[in-house]
Amino acid sequence: MHYTNAVSTFRERVKPRDVKTALVLLNYLFLEHHTVENSSLVDSAMLLIKESSEGAGVHFNSIGKPNHMFAWFVIDYLSMCILFDTFMEHRSLVAPIPFKNVPMSEENISMLVHNKKILIKFCIGQGNSTAEKYFVNEKTGLVGRGCVDLDKLWSTSTKFYRQFNAGIVSSFESYKDSYIGEKKVQKLWIHHFVILQLFHPLFRFYPGDDSELPFTDSNHHLFVMRINEKNENNVKLFFRYYGDTPNYAWMWLGKI
């Protein structure tokens, strides 16, 4: 199945390893309050963000809600892209033609939910309990079905793109400041950007692209590094493993 106005296909632009990487990172890169002691958070860069919550007056919704919403968006969006094999820079709040204001067929919905179950099974198989908290109903033990409304899904995609344009944050203080006040737009977490670049066309930058990104914190270099000739050893190592070069421009620096 294809969108009739898609410029290129998902399979052409996103490697299976990129999807797997996004799902693995989704398991290990999540927000947590500094008071949490029995934690499954082990990524060194995310622990820095966790520390920044101390003294920042962080509300619970600034942690639990972004974690849950982003995790489901990754699953929903990937499942849609796989189903319709599309890779397009769509910025509208509604789905593109031919699905604008048109509900999906029962067959499409069934295949979409099937894709989600496969992706969620992979996440849970990584052994981190965080994935189960996102996707499995605690009372019934059943996996949720997520969003099956394409207009809502594209609207959420646009929301993350607005956050990106507002700035990329790597501390709770900057995140809080981004939405407290009049007419402010919530900014995008740096680990969300790193995951989105792996499969979402609006966040895809390629090696050699020197575009300046809207990082708002001076410490962003502790979290990401641009993939270019300055770190050619990493590119060579990537080539040795996969036989080609990465098709995204930013490397996550957190260690597990």
Question: 228 by DSSP, 3-state: which?
Answer: coil
pLDDT band for position 118 (cuts 50, 70, 90): very high
Amino acid at 136: V
Rounded Cα distance, 135 and 44, in Å = 25
d(CA 73, CA 214) in angstroms, rounded, equals 22
Residue 51 contacts by C-beta under 8 Å, 6 or more apart in sequence?
34
In this structure, what token pair is assigned to residue 74? 């990754």
Cα 212 to its chain centre, rounded Å, is 20
Q: What's the confidence (pLDDT) of residue 86?
A: 84
How is residue 8 annotated by DSSP?
B
Residue ranges covered by each domain of the chain: 10-204
Higher pLDDT, residue 132 or 188 = 188
pLDDT of residue 21: 94
Average pLDDT of the segment spanning 181-200: 87
Q: Which of 209, 252, 255, 253 is nearest to 22 (CA)?
A: 252
State the SS3 of 130-187: HHHHHHECCCCCCECCCCCCHHHHHHHHHHHHHHHHHCEECCHHHHHHCCCCCCCCCC
Query: How many Cβ atoms are within 10 Å of 114's Cβ, its own excluded?
Result: 11
Q: What is the pLDDT of residue 6?
A: 55
Average pLDDT of the residues in 51-69: 83
pTM, entire model: 0.91
In this predicted model, which residue has the larger pLDDT, 79 or 209?
79
- Residue 189's pLDDT is 96
Alpha-carbon Rg of the chain, whole angstroms? 18
Mean pLDDT of 99-106: 77
**Count of beta carbons in the 10 Å neighbourhood of residue 25:** 19
The full length of the chain comes to: 256
Q: What is the mean pLDDT of residues 143-149?
A: 87
- Per-residue pLDDT at 180 exceeds 60: no
Tokens of 93: 């709040």
* pLDDT tens-digit map of 242-251: 777 788 889 9
Mean pLDDT, all residues of the chain: 86
pLDDT category at 210 given cuts 50, 70, 90 is confident
